[in-house]
Structure 1
């Protein structure tokens, strides 16, 4: 069904209602012009009458003064001759004027002699006075005073009559003007616009062509009609294209083989594709208006909230996997995608649901096939790698056991491939009955198990007991002997490849000695040489080129903090790690010795310094001015003044404070030429960069180092920390080192602090700072920034107590 005409008529119908209840244009123009013309006429009349009235009053008073002057010439004779009748006649003559309200005659003594006053009250009265003087050739004498009181009543009456006449004239003029304007507006404006509107209504219907609006007799209106014709033709073409698009949309949307929903900003369904209706088993009428989350099931409420927020804001939302509820079939797993939409969402937002049920099942089967050994149905080597990464990431101590069947090649050759496979399968089942925490077959005749570190030896005994009984294959008993290597994984910087390499090398040694025994792996440098140097050299070269190196930061805290549960952060030590895409996290003691042998340590050291400068620049940008970063340096970096030149370059290129950077060197640096080293260290110190003597007491310690070289920090090695609580000798030795360093004005940093008792002992000795697992492990830079961000309190609560761990060897950076 084509809904395009209805969509087009809806806004037009609203406009018609608005036009029906709004006044016509002609009436609105006349409604404005009528008061305007009336106001102009009224103002003109009022001004004209005000001027006329002022002139009339002025003329009236001039007439009164002139009449009094005339009477003043004759009336004194009558008063001198005591002719009262003539005096009265003069007064009567003056009072006959309409504008005279009263006439009064006073004698020469000021007494009123005669007064003639008309009825009523004078309007705006004004009194004129004139002295009467008798004069002849012999005498000149005042005989009295004449007063005349005027009234404006006649003028007011004349004003009212004239105003009424002018009002009638003005009203007639207004009506004539309005009639003329109405006729002109109707002829040149209203009628052409009505005709144009009638012609534009054809856009509401489905016409084959657009009929242009005829021109009128007004140039201005014709300009409007020209634009209306252009707009009408454009709208007509757009409406036609819209109708065609609507038909295509209806065909595409409702008949497309996809799960589509139209959702409004409140989360209610507005429409759905036919496939969606068939999938969920509902009709369109039942579905429209219901909330979308009623047909989509999700165990995670945040997913529903995220979809609802995206609908309200018109933002995109994808990668949401949910379950679609279906009435007549099993629920389907779908991936929900909402594209970004601009403007209001009143017409609804499209929600695309992709059925990934079969894809998920296929991926699950492929994953199971990829991670499961098809012969024994135990996890394979890839699954072991994932499992070990999870255990290492959890930072828990765990036991790892490698089991290898002795002389399996001979047994397999004797039994044949089929019975040999059955033997391996039964071996896996018997090992599984020994209840390890996890068991897998890594290939051939090797099985790997994990368990709690305390259960490692009991697990070995259970395996030895289980295989003390022979296996029956091809009608004969087969007694198996096993070579087993165990390992306690201790540090979080271990990698699965390193752990397996240690186990495999140990099993090789066991087999060389005849096999059929259990041995615990020894972490020895001899085992580290099992991998050729050129392979490590290639790995380091690839890591530098591909960006596999990472900086981990271990926090350093003030020892004099009042509360050891929340010490004050001073800075951090930058420790380098190698994140290999296949081997995982490779610890420094696996590649630093090789880098020193190949000379790649200089490139690694320069990379660490560059990254440290970037971190310090970012700290300063966000307002962290006092936190310092400590970087380890190799002996080779000081050859030919490389370290000095590198630091000078960094300070020129990065806006950092030199005092925030600390270079740590070990005592074996002193084996180099002392004179050249002394000059270089003093030059570095002049740059403002701090120097720290690392691992003091483990090398060729000499007091002259502390006296001659410009070290500001001395780091006490962990070997002096481990037994400081239990050994009186170690505690006294540590006290001597701290006192000696303080006597040279050096700050003492104690590393390897893992117990609170150790921290309290060294705090009482007056050391400057602590560093160790008790306060914080090395962590990725992002984790460090999150935990110690600029606005946070620099004090943090202690981590839970951790086990003692051996050192990780050379740790550049």
Structure 2
């Protein structure tokens, strides 16, 4: 093979061409980012029409490549917003500032809801749900006496979903039954773990939905989990809203009587915001009332909330029912509730919801403070 010897001029040309091309690509990117008319004019004057054309082609190519790399991420983010907005609107159609949907928009909302249902099914299989624990403080002992278990969901691609976004759809589709079973089993397993660590006084509460009472074998499910985990039933507290109790009164009375006979505590969540019929306090085996945070938010000695809270506390004492105030966010609120002898406090002033490890750490710190006070 005959080798071709390049002249010095040719060598220089071969070296310069890639540098020039790369320079134009860089200038193309710069032009896109700052849209500089001065840069365009300068290149036209220095290199003529050919230089300007090369710059333009470089810019177009760079923009196309940028779209290829960015578009998937943008599409994912867009899908996430669409799915969340769609599921929220379908489950809360009367939200303030909501707009009337067209046929296509309604179809898209329905598709988003179906997709959300599919995501929930996958989340159950992939163990994407987790529990946080928001501590409750006893006003009599000053110690942590328990916590409320709160279900949370983190999707590896779509991020965090609020309970308001997935719980209503889980209830509508019946997926609340397997999700509820997972919550009950997980809570009981954690109770056993904490009791073995020496925190036998601890009581964990969890929320039950109307669908679980209406369709699920909730009594049998809880009994089986208690048998499997071998925990004391008194350490489990079930929270129900007033609307759940009113949906099928006779059936609820029977089911709650059985649960109560097992040693499980029953608490009414968001008390005062639902039916508020005093008759059910006599009919149902209730152990505790949770004063809704809407009453706690604006309490002082001169408001209607003050009158309502004192009436609830007095009534609960007369019926020998424990009172729990939720949504306690300030020292003033805590002092007021302690002054009026509410039994337990829950809210961000006491503690934000914690992971299992964080809650365990707080239990140890709380126990250490009590031991220090005794000495």
TM-score > 0.5, shorter chain as reference: yes
Q: Note if 1:543 corresponds to 2:123.
A: yes
Distance 1:540 1:746, change over 3 A: same
1-structure distance, mates of 2:352, 2:303: 28
**Where do 1:490-569 residues align within 5 Å?**
526=98, 530=109, 532-561=112-141, 567-569=142-144
2-structure distance, mates of 1:732, 1:697: 13
Whichever structure has more helix as a proportion of its residues is: 2
Question: Shift of residue 786 of structure 1?
Answer: 2.5
Write out per-residue CA displacement over residues 747-783 of structure 1, whole angstroms, 9 at most, x where no aligned residue: 0000001111111111111110000011111122122
Is 2:83–2:116's contact at 8 Å kept on the other side of the alignment? Answer: no
Identify the residue that residue 218 of structure 2 maps to in structure 1: 643
**Where do 1:60-139 residues align within 5 Å?**
none
Of the three residues 361, 368, 371, the one matched with 1:793 is 368
Instruction: Report the 3-state secondary structure (helix = DSSP H, G, I; strand = E; otherwise coil) of the residue aligned with 1:626.
Output: coil
Distance 1:688 1:497, change over 3 A: farther
Instruction: Report the 3-state secondary structure (helix = DSSP H, G, I; strand = E; otherwise coil) of the residue aligned with 2:147.
Output: strand
Is 1:627–1:660's contact at 8 Å kept on the other side of the alignment? Answer: yes
Total equivalences in the alignment:
293
Question: Shift of residue 670 of structure 1?
Answer: 2.1
1-structure distance, mates of 2:31, 2:159: 26
The structure with more radius of gyration:
1
Distance 1:723 1:653, change over 3 A: same
Write out per-residue CA displacement over residues 356-393 of structure 1, whole angstroms, 9 at most, x where no aligned residue: xxxxxxxxxxxxxxxx999549xxxxxxxxxxxxxxxx
Question: Shift of residue 558 of structure 1?
Answer: 1.0
Identify the residue that residue 632 of structure 1 maps to in structure 2: 207
Q: Note if 1:653 corresponds to 2:233.
A: no
Identify the residue that residue 303 of structure 2 maps to in structure 1: 728
Distance 1:748 1:375, change over 3 A: farther
Q: Note if 1:708 corresponds to 2:283.
A: yes
Instruction: Report the 3-state secondary structure (helix = DSSP H, G, I; strand = E; otherwise coil) of the residue aligned with 1:779.
Output: coil
Identify the residue that residue 66 of structure 1 maps to in structure 2: none
Write out per-residue CA displacement over residues 595-642 of structure 1, whole angstroms, 9 at most, x where no aligned residue: 111111111111100001110111122222111100100111123661
Distance 1:500 1:541, change over 3 A: closer
1-structure distance, mates of 2:214, 2:342: 32
1-structure distance, mates of 2:31, 2:175: 44
2-structure distance, mates of 1:554, 1:638: 24
Write out per-residue CA displacement over residues 265-312 of structure 1, whole angstroms, 9 at most, x where no aligned residue: xxxxxxxxxxxxxxxxxxxxxxxxxxxxxxxxxxxxxxxxxxxxxxxx
1-structure distance, mates of 2:281, 2:227: 30
Consecutive unaligned residues of structure 2, counting only runs of 5 or more, are 1-28, 35-55, 64-69, 87-94, 100-105, 371-375
Of the three residues 239, 258, 273, the one matched with 1:664 is 239
Q: Note if 1:610 corresponds to 2:190.
A: no
Question: Shift of residue 788 of structure 1?
Answer: 2.1
1-structure distance, mates of 2:229, 2:31: 57
**Where do 1:303-702 residues align within 5 Å?**
376=33, 526=98, 530=109, 532-561=112-141, 567-639=142-214, 642-702=217-277
Q: What is the TM-score when the length of structure 1 is the normalising length?
A: 0.33
Question: Shift of residue 673 of structure 1?
Answer: 2.2
Is 1:622–1:790's contact at 8 Å kept on the other side of the alignment? Answer: no
Is 1:788–1:794's contact at 8 Å kept on the other side of the alignment? Answer: no
RMSD: 3.4
Distance 1:730 1:746, change over 3 A: same
Is 1:641–1:680's contact at 8 Å kept on the other side of the alignment? Answer: no
Q: Note if 1:759 corresponds to 2:334.
A: yes
Instruction: Report the 3-state secondary structure (helix = DSSP H, G, I; strand = E; otherwise coil) of the residue aligned with 1:590.
Output: helix
Question: Shift of residue 650 of structure 1?
Answer: 1.4
Is 1:552–1:577's contact at 8 Å kept on the other side of the alignment? Answer: yes
Distance 1:608 1:526, change over 3 A: farther
Identify the residue that residue 179 of structure 1 maps to in structure 2: none
Question: Shift of residue 785 of structure 1?
Answer: 1.6
Is 1:569–1:794's contact at 8 Å kept on the other side of the alignment? Answer: no
Write out per-residue CA displacement over residues 57-113 of structure 1, whole angstroms, 9 at most, x where no aligned residue: xxxxxxxxxxxxxxxxxxxxxxxxxxxxxxxxxxxxxxxxxxxxxxxxxxxxxxxxx
Whichever structure has more strand as a proportion of its residues is: 1
